[in-house]
Amino acid sequence: MCHLFKQQSYHNSVFYGSRACQKKAHWDSELADLLKELLDLDFSSSWTPRHGSALTVSSILQHYPSGVCLSSWSPSIISMLKDKLKEEKFPDRESFTKALGRYMIYQIQSDPSSSSLHAQTVSSIVSALQDESSEVRRRALSALKAATKANPTAIMAHVSIFGHVLAERLKDGSTPVKLAAERCAVHAFQLTKGLEGIGI
């Protein structure tokens, strides 16, 4: 009787495991189609679809980052995020900065040894740290802080890329940006007693 029960349990686990794999494969296929549509929207002459595309990509990267990063469309999506940091309208640049920050967090957690890839992403975030819009600068600081909290070692390896720009943001003319920079510096420079150790 015990043998039959174990056998039935085994068959059930195989069955449900197979169903789960099928569902995941279906979802990944649907996601790939969606990512392709989002890439197509990137070429729209209208601002609204492009901004909607940025918000959607950012949301997916928050809830299912592996689905984006393991997709065949991943290189195109990440390239789009980096290119769109130069968009004319600042809400777009802010949204794409947020999305790129979420990608960076997944990147350093899932593949912490890929230093060259991390450096490329950090460099893109640094460009956003110098954006003319205070909202974009503040968003970039939040992204850098979150990535540092997720994997301090991986981010600190690139302090030569972001350190001097972060130091500049500590003297930013925008109070919200300056406060965000102080919070980011505490984590990025691993400070425990204020900001004296930065040497500014």
Query: Which of these, 25, 38, 104, 107, lies nearest to 77 by C-alpha position?
Result: 38
How much is the pLDDT for 108? 92
Look at the block and give the residue holding tokens 């302090």.
159
Distances (CA, A) of 58 to 17, 44, 133: 30, 18, 19
Which amino acid type is present at position 92?
D
Q: Which of 2-6, 12-16, 57-61, 191-195 has the highest mean pLDDT?
A: 57-61
How much is the pLDDT for 22? 63
DSSP labels, 73-87: THHHHHHHHHHGGG-
Look at the block and give the residue holding tokens 């909202």.
135
More confident site: 33 or 7: 33
| Average pLDDT rounded to a whole number, residues 172-183 | 97
Q: What is the mean pLDDT of the chain?
A: 84
How much is the pLDDT for 128? 97
pLDDT band at residue 109, thresholds of 50, 70 and 90?
Answer: very high
How much is the pLDDT for 142? 97
Dist. CA 183–CA 143, nearest whole Å: 12
Cβ atoms within 10 Å, residue 133: 17
More confident site: 117 or 15: 117
Q: Is 88's pLDDT higher than 60?
A: yes
- The topology under which CATH files domain 2-198 is Leucine-rich Repeat Variant (1.25.10)
For residue 191, the SS3 value is coil
Q: What is the pLDDT of residues 132-158, one digit of tens each?
A: 999 999 999 999 999 999 999 999 999
How much is the pLDDT for 13? 53
How much is the pLDDT for 14? 47
Dist. CA 144–CA 117, nearest whole Å: 15
pLDDT band at residue 114, thresholds of 50, 70 and 90?
Answer: confident
Domain ranges of the chain: 2-198
Dist. CA 65–CA 103, nearest whole Å: 7
How much is the pLDDT for 167? 95
For residue 157, the SS3 value is coil
pTM: 0.78
Which amino acid type is present at position 184?
C
Report the b/e string of 5-37 with b at 16+ CB within 10 A.
eeeeeeeeeeeeeeeeeeeeeeebeebeebbee
